[in-house]
Chain A
Amino acid sequence: MRKVSGLIAGVLCVSVAWDAWSHRTVDQFSFIQVGQGDCAVFREKGTVVMVDTGPRQGSFDAGRRLVWPAIRDLGIDRIDCLVLSHPDMDHIGGLLSISQRVRIDRIVVSEVFRNHPVMQHELQSAGFSGHQIQYINQNSRLTFGNLRISLYPAPPDSKSDNDRSLLTVVETHNKAIALTGDASQEIERFWIQQSAPKCQIIKAGHHGSNLSLSTDWLNYHQPETVVFSCGRNNPFGHPAPEAVERAVGSNILRTDWDGNITFWWTGTNFEKSTTEKSSPLMKLFNR
């Protein structure tokens, strides 16, 4: 009996230490594997910013199945700011499930979507209203803790919701990351004219569609890394081989095959890790 109590006490100490260590708050940012959709999360000194929430389609809810387990693993229980690029279900579908599980303090949306029926419906069903939502109608700069966000709305005469996507540039430590939603090449050129901040890491627009990720955009940023956020077996053929071709020269990462792509701050630089190669036991529990 004494031996068993000793064992339990031992396991208790080790597990508390282990949990504390593995869930310590490290500055990092991740592109989460959400299937065909977008979701990126940034954390510095405990402040959390998320851009898009992953898809919801039929019975598949990435917010519950993929985003929540991933951010829970990172020890995130609160989001200071959530940017929604545009109201397509592959970007805002996860909002409902995520908002049921973690506190979201503020939501940032482009002014052009203020009266968009889908956007309004999703925000309302998740219980957001009035002062919690900030509408962006001009190039803006917001600061949350140490995280700095620059927001660039698309030109007001853009023809589709995709082309009205909000450009979000997140700056954390020595990196700037550009997320363009589903905007096309034309809008990318507009943002170049607006002198958007140059970034070391960019997410390929529209999940790697051939109509996004222009050579101009790539030349403008000269990115170290290009991330494609797209789903396995997606019916659109994303990422387009031409778009991937254009990104050659940068480090290419894909959420469909690399899994969750995370950059950890080591104190001097960011170090990359992906989940698909390491297959932790957690991921293998499934029904």
Chain B
Amino acid sequence: MRNELNHRPLIWIAIGLGCGVSTSFAPWPWFAILGSSLLFRNLRTIVPLLLAFTVGFLIRPAIPELVREESEFEGRVSIDSMPQRGALGQSCLAEIGSERYLLYFSAEENLALGDEAVIQGELNALSESAGFSSGARGTIKVSSVRLLSEGFSIWRIGQQVADHFRKTVENHLSPESAALVRGVCFNQTDAIEQSDWEAFRRFGIVHLLSASGFHVFVVAGLLLAILNLIPIPRWLQIAVVLGALGLFAIAAGLRPPIIRSVLMTAVALPAYTLRREPDGLSAVGLASVVNILVNPSVIVELGFQLSVLSTLGLVMFLDERLVSTWPKWKLVLAPTLIATLATLPLIGFVFGEVSLIGVIGNLVIAPVVAAIIVLSLIAWILGSVAPPLGDLVWLLVEPLTTFTLRTTELGGTLPGSLIRLPGFSVLSLVLMYLLLLTFWRVRHEKS
């Protein structure tokens, strides 16, 4: 085990960096760093660990002084994240000086990442359930915008592509199906009904409603499985998959969770299929390091944590030597199962409940959702080249979404679907993952 870890400095850098930026939020990272330095008493691990910790500590996000009083705001802002559509219009992060705010503006407004603008609006407090919100100190309900300069044009193009997808889907599918397809494909969750959210939550598959690392990996895996049937070289397969994922990321409005997942897949995939150094573990380490350096506050984003864990699970347990002996059905089901199990302890820690039926829900629905994503993308692209062909594929999507929605409705009503867990500490969470790690170690030695 020590040897395995000694040869992977990227893992240590990722851990050190993660602990460093986490010092803003809790005291335990100090103990974690002390503990790991004492455990692996050699320079090869301690030097990268402590250096990364120092860097992390220096770039740690500040806990903002929250806005309390409502007031009028007028001033210059720079848009800090890709605007996201919600039920009440659009929202994004914006920077004013060195302070961050959550901006809410109308669906018609054309703002994109990197824009500079003068806005007028109402400054308000964050809601009680907003959490850290990337370090925002308040919200601004925008009433008027004057654009000063535009950011990179690629961000705006991404937004236009996403808009095009939205209109296409709405023209071809029933409203409920369209809402689902937009959510699972491109994270456009604004049209999903409250009752559908509830049903997905009860069936333990609510994460499938919004595109995440898990999605990207499923799409990549499915594409690979299809490409495996065609006799082309491995590197070409990977190139095709990564090309498709790049397209996917642009069309998904280049939102941070999508970019992160694509990045993670892009570094993990070649390692997984070619089994070359640097291996999958180091790849996840690298992707995490890049993510934290770009935006230190991702460390407290549940989406980031879940995508790191599921990707780690996948690269650790989908060993090429094992996978090559598996039948096709196992290849389709294994990633879902592994990703679900790898994230279960964290989900239990945060939400206090895990859905056992969710394991079944994921096994049943995830492949269908993957099919919906792939078919919708094909229909959309085909439709813009040859509309009749696109229409034909859209006809296939509708029954799949109906199946997903109705099965979820039914699955959520099954008894005993949720298991409540007593509150436990971060330490117990770490313990659970250490146990999983030894399980991997045992399997690894066997193979």
Binding site for B on A (CB under 8 A): 1, 3-5, 7-8, 11-12, 14-16, 18-19, 22-23, 33-35, 58-60, 65-66, 68-69, 72-73, 75, 77, 100-102, 231-233, 256-257, 279-287
Contacts of A231 in B (CB 8 A): 127-128
Q: A284 touching B300 by the CB < 8 A rule?
A: yes
Q: A35 touching B127 by the CB < 8 A rule?
A: yes
Contacts of B68 in A (CB 8 A): 257
Contacts of A60 in B (CB 8 A): 127, 129
Contacts of B28 in A (CB 8 A): 281
Closest to B139 in A: A233
Closest to B141 in A: A233
Please judge, given known A-B contacts A35-B129, A101-B353, whether A4 and B1 are in contact too, CB under 8 Å: yes
User: How far is A94 from B422 in the complex, measured between Cα atoms in Å?
Assistant: 20
Residues in B126-159 with C-beta less than 8 Å from chain A: 126-133
B90 interface contact, C-beta 8 A: no
Q: A11 touching B430 by the CB < 8 A rule?
A: yes
Smallest distance from the beta carbon of A238 to chain B beta carbons, Å? 13
Q: B427 touching A11 by the CB < 8 A rule?
A: yes
Residues in B276-322 with C-beta less than 8 Å from chain A: 300-303, 305
User: How far is A12 from B438 in the complex, measured between Cα atoms in Å?
Assistant: 14
User: How far is A26 from B438 in the complex, measured between Cα atoms in Å?
Assistant: 36
User: How far is A7 from B125 in the complex, measured between Cα atoms in Å?
Assistant: 44
B230 interface contact, C-beta 8 A: no
Q: B425 touching A8 by the CB < 8 A rule?
A: no
Closest to A15 in B: B427
Contacts of B435 in A (CB 8 A): 8
B414 interface contact, C-beta 8 A: no
User: How far is A234 from B357 in the complex, measured between Cα atoms in Å?
Assistant: 38
User: How far is A17 from B298 in the complex, measured between Cα atoms in Å?
Assistant: 30
B9 interface contact, C-beta 8 A: no
User: How far is A114 from B431 in the complex, measured between Cα atoms in Å?
Assistant: 50
B330 interface contact, C-beta 8 A: no
Please judge, given known A-B contacts A15-B428, A68-B352, whether A233 and B127 are in contact too, CB under 8 Å: yes
Q: A286 touching B425 by the CB < 8 A rule?
A: no
Please judge, given known A-B contacts A77-B422, A285-B350, whether A233 and B428 are in contact too, CB under 8 Å: no
Please indicate which of the listed interface residues B128, B424, B431 has the most CB atoms of chain A within 10 Å of its own CB.
B128
User: How far is A37 from B412 in the complex, measured between Cα atoms in Å?
Assistant: 29
The answer, among A18, A34, A102, for a CB contact under 8 Å with B425, is A18
Please judge, given known A-B contacts A232-B128, A282-B350, whether A23 and B422 are in contact too, CB under 8 Å: yes
B385 interface contact, C-beta 8 A: no
Binding site for A on B (CB under 8 A): 1-2, 22, 25-26, 28, 39, 63, 68, 70, 87, 124-133, 194, 197, 300-303, 305, 350, 352-353, 418, 420, 422-428, 430-431, 434-435, 438, 441
Beyond contacts A16-B428, A232-B126, A286-B301: 18 other A-B pairs, Cβ-Cβ < 8 A, are A4-B441, A5-B438, A7-B39, A8-B434, A18-B425, A23-B423, A35-B127, A66-B128, A75-B422, A75-B423, A77-B420, A232-B127, A284-B131, A284-B132, A285-B300, A285-B350, A286-B129, A286-B132
The answer, among A3, A77, A257, for a CB contact under 8 Å with B2, is A3
Contacts of A256 in B (CB 8 A): 125, 128
Smallest distance from the beta carbon of B258 to chain A beta carbons, Å? 15
User: How far is A280 from B420 in the complex, measured between Cα atoms in Å?
Assistant: 21
Closest to B306 in A: A287
Q: B434 touching A11 by the CB < 8 A rule?
A: yes
Provide a sorted-by-A list of 9 A–B residue pairs whose CB atoms are within 8 angstroms: A11-B430, A18-B427, A19-B425, A19-B427, A33-B128, A69-B352, A100-B418, A101-B352, A233-B127
Smallest distance from the beta carbon of A75 to chain B beta carbons, Å? 6
Q: A14 touching B427 by the CB < 8 A rule?
A: yes
Contacts of B132 in A (CB 8 A): 284, 286
Contacts of B63 in A (CB 8 A): 279
Q: B70 touching A65 by the CB < 8 A rule?
A: no
Contacts of B70 in A (CB 8 A): 233
Smallest distance from the beta carbon of B120 to chain A beta carbons, Å? 18
User: How far is A280 from B131 in the complex, measured between Cα atoms in Å?
Assistant: 11
Please judge, given known A-B contacts A7-B39, A8-B434, A15-B431, whether A34 and B25 are in contact too, CB under 8 Å: no
Contacts of A100 in B (CB 8 A): 418
User: How far is A69 from B1 in the complex, measured between Cα atoms in Å?
Assistant: 37
Contacts of B428 in A (CB 8 A): 15-16, 18-19
Please indicate which of the listed interface residues A1, A23, A285 has the most CB atoms of chain B within 10 Å of its own CB.
A285
Contacts of B133 in A (CB 8 A): 286
Smallest distance from the beta carbon of A15 to chain B beta carbons, Å? 4
Q: A72 touching B2 by the CB < 8 A rule?
A: no
Q: B131 touching A285 by the CB < 8 A rule?
A: yes
Smallest distance from the beta carbon of B443 to chain A beta carbons, Å? 14
Q: B125 touching A233 by the CB < 8 A rule?
A: yes
Contacts of B350 in A (CB 8 A): 282, 285
User: How far is A65 from B22 in the complex, measured between Cα atoms in Å?
Assistant: 23
The answer, among B39, B197, B305, B426, for a CB contact under 8 Å with A59, is B197
User: How far is A73 from B28 in the complex, measured between Cα atoms in Å?
Assistant: 18
Smallest distance from the beta carbon of A239 to chain B beta carbons, Å? 13
User: How far is A5 from B434 in the complex, measured between Cα atoms in Å?
Assistant: 10
User: How far is A168 from B279 in the complex, measured between Cα atoms in Å?
Assistant: 63
Contacts of A280 in B (CB 8 A): 25-26
Contacts of B422 in A (CB 8 A): 23, 72, 75, 77
User: How far is A72 from B28 in the complex, measured between Cα atoms in Å?
Assistant: 21
Q: A287 touching B302 by the CB < 8 A rule?
A: yes
Contacts of A257 in B (CB 8 A): 68
Closest to B39 in A: A7
Contacts of B125 in A (CB 8 A): 232-233, 256
Q: Which 3 A-B pairs rank lowest in CB-CB distance, beginning with the nearest?
A: A286-B131, A15-B427, A232-B125
User: How far is A232 from B133 in the complex, measured between Cα atoms in Å?
Assistant: 16
Smallest distance from the beta carbon of A106 to chain B beta carbons, Å? 20
User: How far is A256 from B67 in the complex, measured between Cα atoms in Å?
Assistant: 12
User: How far is A4 from B442 in the complex, measured between Cα atoms in Å?
Assistant: 12
User: How far is A42 from B39 in the complex, measured between Cα atoms in Å?
Assistant: 44
Q: B431 touching A11 by the CB < 8 A rule?
A: yes
Contacts of A8 in B (CB 8 A): 431, 434-435, 438
User: How far is A279 from B305 in the complex, measured between Cα atoms in Å?
Assistant: 19
The answer, among B25, B127, B434, for a CB contact under 8 Å with A279, is B25
Q: B302 touching A3 by the CB < 8 A rule?
A: no
User: How far is A285 from B87 in the complex, measured between Cα atoms in Å?
Assistant: 23
User: How far is A101 from B1 in the complex, measured between Cα atoms in Å?
Assistant: 41
